[in-house]
């Protein structure tokens, strides 16, 4: 792997940017591996990276049906935060935030992690009660979160309109360690680092079946590029997890919905933080490229189309225009949808599937990007040791049978 440094950038720059190598190999599938990861998004690529770097499993491959980062990794609004209500979730998401803080250095790849602060607005008395409960719960769990008055919220985000709107801003919860990162760079950085450790990243390779031996254990997968054998298969396929797991007759409590986002034309730096409003439903930040990145809600119905209704995005824009009147004349450049797998308690499922050798990491719903490093880290542990890491131990599939739900509907932020 060619390492990046100020010196290497300068040297290549003076040489006319010639001599750069591809960031990862164009791998052909081998007949067998020690483990396979299905899904080449941030979670899957990160899992492969941690399997190789921390568990010394290097004879592994990541199978991606399209190109890496083409699913929800490239479709989200890049918001990172860990202000979830319950101790299990706060610990898991904060594990991710801690990994984010050193991820660029660790991968030698700039993921542009920016802790610019996430402001979550309250517009009703009920909002205030819920937000304050989150603030106190987070502080008790060692996760930073603070309550701001409307004036203090406006001081933190000067563009915010706190008064002249249908639902005035009554206060806000601020997580200063929250922020954004460059989503594509996360996929590319993990891919590059995993590839350097010997991991095969195989694109345009769709899994069409899961092979099992006489005892029922996993022995490999069928793909559009032939059979690949492996005693362990980890699935990180987001909205398509139900489809993959059905190949092994595993049923999951998931429903797949379209979630839409959109970006504006790029403008000069104008927006200093991330603002989210659950009640009037919109969230917004500005990318380093200058685009306003705006998140809308999920569509009402399950779908795999990667698109949604325009009334969903216009609803989000109406909220943005109320909160930030100066954006009323901004033009939107693109909008798109990603398919998110939603669980009944809005918390992920990370662990064993019930089929020996088959592991699943799914159910991140509308908020998986923020968890990418933490999710990948504990999932790699689970696959390597055939037992959950203490942080993902509560996030089993069995919790639905046993009634140990981790109900994060309020913290999940996106209305669904």
Interaction site with other proteins (CB under 8 A): 240, 242-243, 251-256, 300-305, 309-311, 344, 400-403
Q: How far is the CB of 349 from other proteins (least distance, A)?
A: 11
Closer of 196 and 316 to other proteins (Cβ): 316
Closer of 227 and 302 to other proteins (Cβ): 302
Closer of 216 and 266 to other proteins (Cβ): 216
Q: Where are the extended beta strands (E) located within 64-150?
A: 79-80, 118-122, 146-148
Query: 11: helix, coil or strand?
Result: helix
Of 273, 282, 376, 362, the C-alpha closest to 322 is 282
Query: 337: helix, coil or strand?
Result: strand
Helices (H), 340-390: 372-385
Q: How far is the CB of 276 from other proteins (least distance, A)?
A: 24
Q: Are 397 and 376 in contact (CB under 8 A)?
A: no
Q: How far is the CB of 251 from other proteins (least distance, A)?
A: 5
Q: How far is the CB of 246 from other proteins (least distance, A)?
A: 8
User: Which are the contacts of 350, defined by CB distance < 8 A and separation ≥ 6?
Assistant: 360, 361, 375, 378, 379, 382, 388, 392, 395
Closer of 215 and 305 to other proteins (Cβ): 305
Helices (H), 77-124: 87-101, 103-107
Please state, in angstroms and rounded to a whole number, the distance separating the CA atoms of residues 72 and 82: 19
Closer of 244 and 274 to other proteins (Cβ): 244
Q: How far is the CB of 63 from other proteins (least distance, A)?
A: 18
Helices (H), 235-337: 241-246, 310-323
Which residues on neighbouring strands pair with residue 121, listed in sequence order?
172, 277
Please state, in angstroms and rounded to a whole number, the distance separating the CA atoms of residues 351 and 37: 14
DSSP code for 416: -
Q: How far is the CB of 396 from other proteins (least distance, A)?
A: 12
Q: How far is the CB of 416 from other proteins (least distance, A)?
A: 11
Closer of 256 and 372 to other proteins (Cβ): 256
Closer of 230 and 252 to other proteins (Cβ): 252
């Amino acid at each position: 792997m060619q390492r990046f440094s100020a010196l290497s950038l300068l040297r290549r720059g003076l040489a006319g940017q010639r001599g750069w190598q591809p960031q990862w190999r164009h791998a052909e599938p081998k007949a067998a591996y020690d483990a396979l990861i299905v899904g080449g998004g941030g979670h899957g690529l990160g899992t492969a990276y941690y399997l190789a770097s921390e568990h010394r499993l290097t004879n592994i491959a990541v199978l991606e049906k399209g190109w890496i980062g083409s699913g929800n990794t490239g479709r989200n609004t890049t918001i990172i935060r860990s202000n979830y209500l319950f101790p299990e979730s706060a610990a898991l998401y904060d594990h991710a935030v801690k990994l984010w803080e050193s991820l660029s250095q660790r991968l030698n790849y700039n993921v542009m992690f920016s802790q610019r602060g996430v402001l979550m607005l309250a517009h009703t008395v009920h909002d205030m009660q819920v937000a304050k409960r989150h603030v106190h719960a987070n502080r008790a769990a060692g996760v930073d979160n603070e309550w701001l008055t409307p004036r203090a919220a406006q001081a933190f985000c000067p563009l915010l309109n706190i008064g002249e709107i249908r639902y005035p801003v009554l206060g806000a919860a601020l997580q200063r360690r929250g922020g954004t990162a460059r989503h594509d760079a996360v996929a590319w950085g993990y891919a590059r680092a995993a590839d350097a450790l010997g991991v095969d990243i195989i694109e345009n390779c769709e899994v069409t079946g899961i092979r099992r031996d006489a005892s029922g254990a996993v022995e490999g997968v069928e793909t559009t590029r032939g059979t690949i054998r492996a005693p362990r298969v980890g699935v990180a396929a987001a909205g398509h997890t139900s489809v993959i797991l059905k190949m092994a007759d595993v049923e999951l409590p998931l429903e797949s919905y379209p979630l839409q986002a959109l970006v504006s034309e790029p403008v000069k730096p104008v927006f200093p933080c991330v603002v989210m409003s659950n009640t009037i439903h919109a969230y917004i930040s500005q990318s380093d490229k200058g685009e306003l990145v705006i998140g809308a809600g999920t569509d009402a119905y399950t779908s795999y189309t990667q698109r949604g209704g325009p009334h969903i995005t216009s609803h989000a824009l109406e909220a943005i225009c109320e909160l930030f009147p100066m954006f009323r004349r901004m033009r939107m450049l693109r909008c798109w949808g990603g398919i998110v797998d939603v669980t009944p308690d809005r918390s992920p499922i990370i662990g064993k599937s019930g089929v020996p050798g088959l592991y699943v990491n799914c159910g991140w719903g509308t908020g998986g990007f923020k968890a990418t490093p933490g999710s990948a880290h504990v999932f790699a542990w689970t696959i390597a040791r055939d037992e959950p890491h203490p942080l993902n131990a509560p996030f089993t599939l069995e919790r639905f049978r046993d009634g140990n739900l981790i109900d994060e509907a309020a913290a999940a932020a996106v209305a669904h």
